[in-house]
Amino acid sequence: MTKPRVILFGSIGIARKCLTEIILKRDIDFLGACCVPLEDTWRKNEESVYDYCLENNIPILEMSDIAALRPDVGFSVRFNQIIPADVISAFKLGIFNTHGGILPQYRGVYSNINALIQGEQYYGVTLHYVQQGIDDGDIVAIKKVHIEDDDTGFTLYKQGEELCYYVLSENIDAILDGSNERISQQELVESGQKVGVYTVKSTIKKKKVDLHENDQERIYRVIRAFDSPHHEPAYTYINGKKVYLRAKWE
């Protein structure tokens, strides 16, 4: 039996952890990684996939390289590029993405932030097949955590990275031998589950808070949602001046 031919899509620290501790621990033919150097200053202490590949003579791939490699399985871990249709179709068993949100309700970006704003009880990640639509491929598995009163958008993001690791670890063997479960998101939608598609612009514009709004609980959720040590928090205007709003517990 030939070994599955595998490619990773991902660059950041959690992608490297998944590569070294999960993917490369399997009996596979690892063809390389589609990755880039880390440029975000707040990630400067993370060990990247790019550096790992350079240190270990692993091919760093361009999208145009992939089809000719005849890959079987792809794993996408917090990958920040759109994978073209011709690349998706090149994989015999498919590409599997660890999406930072519970599908089908939280498609798109910033699901951690939007889950807080919407007052959800749970946040989670979804392991799903990559298709051309926005996070609309068949679902393999979902892992959730309860949203606590002191959670912020940033703490949920970090928990989401851990969930990506565990959901991939728990399902990789079934994926590699082609026995994994899958459920169509369309079936879930037809059964009554909500669908939401969140974009960068639609999320960022929620940062501005009106302190005179009647729903004070919602204001508090927005402040928590955008509270991060690395990015601009929620804000309001007082006497024409921009005032940042941070969450604090005593």
Segment 221-249, tens digit of pLDDT: 999 999 999 999 999 999 999 999 998 87
Model pLDDT, residue 1: 67
Model pLDDT, residue 98: 98
d(C-alpha 206, C-alpha 217), whole Å: 15
**H/E segment holding residue 103:** none
Question: Which tens digits make up the pLDDT trace of 33-50?
Answer: 999 999 877 888 899 999
CATH architecture of 5-197: 3-Layer(aba) Sandwich (3.40)
d(C-alpha 81, C-alpha 84), whole Å: 9
Low-confidence residues of the chain: pLDDT under 50: none
d(C-alpha 172, C-alpha 75), whole Å: 9
Integer CA distances (angstroms), 11 to 40, 55, 76, 78, 196, in order: 11, 14, 10, 8, 27
Parse the chain into domains and list their residue ranges: 5-197, 201-245
Residue reference for tokens 């949203």: 147
**H/E segment holding residue 21:** helix 13-21
Residue reference for tokens 């899958």: 182
